[in-house]
Amino acid sequence: MVFVNELCQVALRAGKEILRVYGTDFQVEIKSDHSPVTTADIAAEAIIFEALNELYPNIPVVAEEAVSRGIVPPTEGSFFLVDPLDGSKEFVSRNGEFTVNIALVVDWAPVHGVVYAPALERIWWGARDEGSFTASVVDGVIGTASAIRVRDAERGLRAVGSRSHGSGQGDERLARFPITDYISAGSSLKFCLVASGEADIYPRLGRTMEWDTAAGDAVLRAAGGRVECLDGSLLRYGKRNQSTDSDFANPFFIAYGDTRFCQMADAG
Protein backbone atom coordinates (compact mmCIF):
# COMPACT_ATOMS: atom_id res chain seq x y z
CA MET A 1 0.00 0.00 0.00
CA VAL A 2 1.23 3.48 -0.87
CA PHE A 3 0.86 6.18 1.78
CA VAL A 4 0.59 9.76 0.59
CA ASN A 5 2.41 11.08 3.69
CA GLU A 6 5.48 9.09 2.61
CA LEU A 7 5.28 10.68 -0.82
CA CYS A 8 5.18 14.11 0.87
CA GLN A 9 8.42 13.35 2.67
CA VAL A 10 10.07 12.28 -0.58
CA ALA A 11 8.97 15.54 -2.20
CA LEU A 12 10.42 17.52 0.70
CA ARG A 13 13.80 15.85 0.24
CA ALA A 14 13.82 16.67 -3.46
CA GLY A 15 12.70 20.22 -2.75
CA LYS A 16 15.59 20.78 -0.37
CA GLU A 17 18.08 19.92 -3.11
CA ILE A 18 16.22 22.12 -5.60
CA LEU A 19 16.44 25.10 -3.25
CA ARG A 20 20.16 24.46 -2.77
CA VAL A 21 20.70 24.73 -6.52
CA TYR A 22 18.25 27.65 -6.76
CA GLY A 23 20.58 29.67 -4.56
CA THR A 24 23.56 29.19 -6.86
CA ASP A 25 24.61 30.48 -10.26
CA PHE A 26 23.31 27.33 -11.98
CA GLN A 27 23.72 26.50 -15.66
CA VAL A 28 20.80 25.86 -18.01
CA GLU A 29 20.79 23.39 -20.90
CA ILE A 30 18.12 23.08 -23.58
CA LYS A 31 16.76 19.60 -24.35
CA SER A 32 15.70 18.29 -27.73
CA ASP A 33 12.09 19.33 -27.00
CA HIS A 34 13.34 22.90 -26.43
CA SER A 35 12.58 22.83 -22.70
CA PRO A 36 15.23 23.88 -20.17
CA VAL A 37 16.92 21.49 -17.76
CA THR A 38 19.27 22.22 -14.87
CA THR A 39 21.27 20.26 -12.34
CA ALA A 40 18.31 20.73 -9.99
CA ASP A 41 16.10 18.60 -12.26
CA ILE A 42 18.66 15.82 -12.43
CA ALA A 43 19.53 15.81 -8.73
CA ALA A 44 15.92 15.97 -7.56
CA GLU A 45 14.91 13.12 -9.84
CA ALA A 46 17.74 10.96 -8.52
CA ILE A 47 16.57 11.59 -4.94
CA ILE A 48 12.98 10.68 -5.81
CA PHE A 49 14.00 7.57 -7.75
CA GLU A 50 16.11 6.26 -4.91
CA ALA A 51 13.42 6.93 -2.29
CA LEU A 52 10.54 5.42 -4.26
CA ASN A 53 12.55 2.35 -5.20
CA GLU A 54 13.39 1.81 -1.54
CA LEU A 55 9.83 2.37 -0.29
CA TYR A 56 7.96 0.64 -3.12
CA PRO A 57 10.39 -1.58 -5.05
CA ASN A 58 7.59 -3.30 -6.99
CA ILE A 59 6.06 -0.14 -8.45
CA PRO A 60 7.71 1.24 -11.62
CA VAL A 61 8.70 4.91 -11.78
CA VAL A 62 8.17 6.97 -14.92
CA ALA A 63 10.06 10.26 -14.62
CA GLU A 64 10.60 13.10 -17.06
CA GLU A 65 14.37 13.16 -17.26
CA ALA A 66 14.70 9.37 -17.31
CA VAL A 67 12.22 9.12 -20.19
CA SER A 68 14.21 11.74 -22.10
CA ARG A 69 17.18 9.34 -21.83
CA GLY A 70 15.10 6.40 -23.08
CA ILE A 71 14.53 4.80 -19.66
CA VAL A 72 10.86 3.75 -19.72
CA PRO A 73 9.57 0.90 -17.51
CA PRO A 74 6.36 -1.06 -18.15
CA THR A 75 3.27 0.79 -17.01
CA GLU A 76 0.58 -1.86 -16.71
CA GLY A 77 -1.51 -1.60 -13.54
CA SER A 78 0.21 0.77 -11.11
CA PHE A 79 3.14 3.12 -11.59
CA PHE A 80 4.52 6.41 -10.32
CA LEU A 81 4.66 9.53 -12.48
CA VAL A 82 7.33 12.02 -11.44
CA ASP A 83 8.24 15.51 -12.55
CA PRO A 84 11.16 16.42 -10.30
CA LEU A 85 10.98 20.11 -11.21
CA ASP A 86 7.77 21.17 -12.93
CA GLY A 87 7.98 24.71 -14.20
CA SER A 88 11.62 24.81 -15.22
CA LYS A 89 11.02 28.16 -16.94
CA GLU A 90 9.76 29.54 -13.62
CA PHE A 91 12.82 28.09 -11.90
CA VAL A 92 15.16 29.71 -14.42
CA SER A 93 13.34 33.06 -14.18
CA ARG A 94 13.39 32.74 -10.36
CA ASN A 95 9.73 33.62 -9.78
CA GLY A 96 9.25 30.75 -7.31
CA GLU A 97 6.33 29.09 -9.12
CA PHE A 98 7.91 25.68 -9.66
CA THR A 99 6.95 22.40 -8.04
CA VAL A 100 7.94 18.84 -7.28
CA ASN A 101 5.25 16.48 -8.63
CA ILE A 102 4.82 12.87 -7.51
CA ALA A 103 1.73 10.83 -8.41
CA LEU A 104 0.61 7.23 -8.18
CA VAL A 105 -1.41 6.02 -11.16
CA VAL A 106 -3.65 2.96 -10.85
CA ASP A 107 -5.67 1.68 -13.80
CA TRP A 108 -5.25 4.86 -15.86
CA ALA A 109 -6.18 7.25 -13.02
CA PRO A 110 -4.03 9.35 -10.62
CA VAL A 111 -5.10 8.19 -7.16
CA HIS A 112 -2.41 9.80 -4.97
CA GLY A 113 -0.65 13.07 -5.66
CA VAL A 114 1.79 15.47 -4.02
CA VAL A 115 2.62 18.95 -5.29
CA TYR A 116 5.35 20.76 -3.38
CA ALA A 117 6.37 24.36 -4.12
CA PRO A 118 9.64 24.68 -2.16
CA ALA A 119 10.27 28.37 -2.89
CA LEU A 120 6.71 29.22 -1.86
CA GLU A 121 6.97 27.01 1.25
CA ARG A 122 3.67 25.30 0.44
CA ILE A 123 2.62 21.71 -0.17
CA TRP A 124 -0.60 20.13 -1.41
CA TRP A 125 -1.56 16.48 -1.40
CA GLY A 126 -4.58 14.36 -2.17
CA ALA A 127 -5.67 10.74 -2.18
CA ARG A 128 -8.75 9.13 -3.66
CA ASP A 129 -11.50 8.70 -1.04
CA GLU A 130 -9.38 10.58 1.52
CA GLY A 131 -9.65 14.18 0.32
CA SER A 132 -7.10 16.88 -0.39
CA PHE A 133 -5.04 19.04 1.94
CA THR A 134 -2.53 21.85 2.02
CA ALA A 135 0.00 23.08 4.56
CA SER A 136 2.92 25.43 4.94
CA VAL A 137 6.45 24.06 5.03
CA VAL A 138 8.95 25.72 7.37
CA ASP A 139 12.54 24.50 7.55
CA GLY A 140 11.54 21.30 5.77
CA VAL A 141 8.73 20.49 8.21
CA ILE A 142 5.08 20.30 7.15
CA GLY A 143 2.80 22.43 9.33
CA THR A 144 -0.81 21.92 10.29
CA ALA A 145 -2.83 20.50 7.42
CA SER A 146 -5.97 22.22 6.16
CA ALA A 147 -8.56 20.37 4.11
CA ILE A 148 -9.31 21.91 0.73
CA ARG A 149 -12.30 21.54 -1.55
CA VAL A 150 -13.41 22.92 -4.89
CA ARG A 151 -15.98 25.68 -4.67
CA ASP A 152 -19.44 26.01 -6.15
CA ALA A 153 -19.32 28.53 -8.99
CA GLU A 154 -22.67 30.28 -9.08
CA ARG A 155 -21.73 33.32 -11.15
CA GLY A 156 -18.69 34.25 -13.20
CA LEU A 157 -15.82 31.82 -13.33
CA ARG A 158 -12.23 32.57 -12.47
CA ALA A 159 -9.93 30.84 -14.94
CA VAL A 160 -6.28 30.13 -14.21
CA GLY A 161 -3.86 29.70 -17.06
CA SER A 162 -0.21 29.06 -17.69
CA ARG A 163 2.19 31.87 -16.89
CA SER A 164 4.60 30.65 -19.56
CA HIS A 165 2.24 29.21 -22.20
CA GLY A 166 -0.80 31.49 -22.17
CA SER A 167 -4.10 31.55 -20.31
CA GLY A 168 -6.44 30.71 -23.17
CA GLN A 169 -8.12 34.08 -22.82
CA GLY A 170 -9.98 34.94 -26.03
CA ASP A 171 -9.99 31.36 -27.33
CA GLU A 172 -13.37 30.61 -28.93
CA ARG A 173 -13.36 27.12 -27.40
CA LEU A 174 -13.92 28.76 -24.01
CA ALA A 175 -16.70 31.09 -25.16
CA ARG A 176 -19.44 28.86 -23.70
CA PHE A 177 -18.11 29.36 -20.17
CA PRO A 178 -19.07 32.46 -18.12
CA ILE A 179 -15.45 33.38 -17.42
CA THR A 180 -15.12 36.87 -15.93
CA ASP A 181 -11.59 36.76 -14.54
CA TYR A 182 -8.27 35.32 -15.70
CA ILE A 183 -5.23 34.76 -13.53
CA SER A 184 -1.87 33.13 -14.28
CA ALA A 185 0.30 30.68 -12.38
CA GLY A 186 3.24 28.44 -13.13
CA SER A 187 3.64 24.67 -13.06
CA SER A 188 1.01 22.40 -11.46
CA LEU A 189 0.04 25.19 -9.06
CA LYS A 190 -2.87 25.80 -11.41
CA PHE A 191 -4.49 22.51 -10.41
CA CYS A 192 -3.98 23.38 -6.74
CA LEU A 193 -5.68 26.75 -7.14
CA VAL A 194 -8.75 25.05 -8.60
CA ALA A 195 -8.65 22.33 -5.92
CA SER A 196 -8.59 24.92 -3.13
CA GLY A 197 -11.41 27.02 -4.58
CA GLU A 198 -9.16 29.96 -5.52
CA ALA A 199 -10.02 29.40 -9.19
CA ASP A 200 -12.82 27.57 -10.98
CA ILE A 201 -11.40 26.30 -14.24
CA TYR A 202 -8.00 25.60 -15.78
CA PRO A 203 -8.08 25.24 -19.57
CA ARG A 204 -4.92 23.84 -21.14
CA LEU A 205 -5.16 24.26 -24.89
CA GLY A 206 -1.57 23.28 -25.49
CA ARG A 207 0.63 20.23 -25.21
CA THR A 208 1.57 18.76 -21.83
CA MET A 209 3.05 15.49 -20.65
CA GLU A 210 1.57 13.15 -18.07
CA TRP A 211 4.24 13.93 -15.46
CA ASP A 212 3.27 17.61 -15.76
CA THR A 213 -0.31 16.92 -14.75
CA ALA A 214 -0.75 13.69 -12.78
CA ALA A 215 0.04 14.96 -9.27
CA GLY A 216 -2.05 18.11 -9.60
CA ASP A 217 -4.83 16.11 -11.23
CA ALA A 218 -4.84 13.72 -8.25
CA VAL A 219 -5.11 16.63 -5.82
CA LEU A 220 -7.95 18.17 -7.82
CA ARG A 221 -9.90 14.91 -8.18
CA ALA A 222 -9.62 14.20 -4.46
CA ALA A 223 -10.90 17.74 -3.80
CA GLY A 224 -14.03 17.08 -5.87
CA GLY A 225 -12.89 18.30 -9.30
CA ARG A 226 -12.46 16.65 -12.66
CA VAL A 227 -10.10 16.89 -15.63
CA GLU A 228 -11.62 16.26 -19.06
CA CYS A 229 -10.27 16.13 -22.57
CA LEU A 230 -12.05 18.40 -25.04
CA ASP A 231 -14.23 15.48 -26.17
CA GLY A 232 -15.60 15.11 -22.64
CA SER A 233 -13.64 11.99 -21.72
CA LEU A 234 -11.70 11.81 -18.48
CA LEU A 235 -7.97 12.46 -18.83
CA ARG A 236 -6.14 9.12 -18.64
CA TYR A 237 -2.59 8.18 -17.72
CA GLY A 238 -0.20 5.57 -19.04
CA LYS A 239 -0.88 6.40 -22.69
CA ARG A 240 1.55 4.48 -24.91
CA ASN A 241 1.91 3.90 -28.65
CA GLN A 242 -0.25 6.87 -29.53
CA SER A 243 -0.79 7.32 -33.24
CA THR A 244 -0.90 11.11 -33.03
CA ASP A 245 1.76 11.84 -30.40
CA SER A 246 4.55 10.39 -28.29
CA ASP A 247 4.18 8.16 -25.25
CA PHE A 248 2.76 9.95 -22.19
CA ALA A 249 1.70 13.05 -24.13
CA ASN A 250 -1.63 14.58 -23.11
CA PRO A 251 -4.35 15.92 -25.37
CA PHE A 252 -5.75 19.38 -24.66
CA PHE A 253 -7.87 19.39 -21.52
CA ILE A 254 -9.94 21.47 -19.11
CA ALA A 255 -9.69 21.06 -15.33
CA TYR A 256 -12.92 21.86 -13.51
CA GLY A 257 -13.67 22.66 -9.91
CA ASP A 258 -17.46 22.77 -10.06
CA THR A 259 -18.17 19.72 -12.23
CA ARG A 260 -21.57 21.07 -13.31
CA PHE A 261 -19.65 23.03 -15.93
CA CYS A 262 -18.46 19.77 -17.49
CA GLN A 263 -22.01 19.30 -18.76
CA MET A 264 -21.95 22.76 -20.28
CA ALA A 265 -18.76 21.89 -22.14
CA ASP A 266 -20.12 18.52 -23.26
CA ALA A 267 -23.29 20.16 -24.52
CA GLY A 268 -21.21 22.60 -26.56
As a three-state string, the secondary structure of 99-159 is: EEEEEEEECCEEEEEEEEEHHHCEEEEEECCCEEEEEEEECCEECCCEEECCCCCCCCEEE
Greater confidence (114 vs 206) lies with: 114
Give 27: exposed, middle or buried? Use CB within 10 Å, 0-12, 13-18, 19+: exposed
Mean pLDDT of 174-182: 86
Does residue 262 carry a pLDDT above 90? no
Whether residue 249 contacts residue 209, with contact meaning beta carbons closer than 8 Å, is answered with: yes
Mean pLDDT of 85-90: 93
Does residue 173 carry a pLDDT above 80? no
pLDDT for the residue 170: 59
Domains annotated on the chain, with CATH: 4-148 (3.30.540.10), 157-267 (3.40.190.80)
Which range, 96-100, 163-167, 260-264, is most confident?
A: 96-100
Percent of the chain with pLDDT over 90: 79
pLDDT for the residue 176: 84
Does residue 169 carry a pLDDT above 80? no
pLDDT for the residue 202: 96
Does residue 123 carry a pLDDT above 90? yes
pLDDT for the residue 12: 98
Which helix (H) or strand (E) segment is 8 a member of? helix 4-22
Cβ contacts of 237 within 8 Å, gap of 6 or more: 81, 103, 105, 108, 109, 110, 210, 214
Least confident interval from 57-61, 115-119, 262-266: 262-266
pLDDT for the residue 98: 97
pLDDT tens-digit map of 40-64: 999 999 999 999 999 999 999 999 9
pLDDT for the residue 164: 58
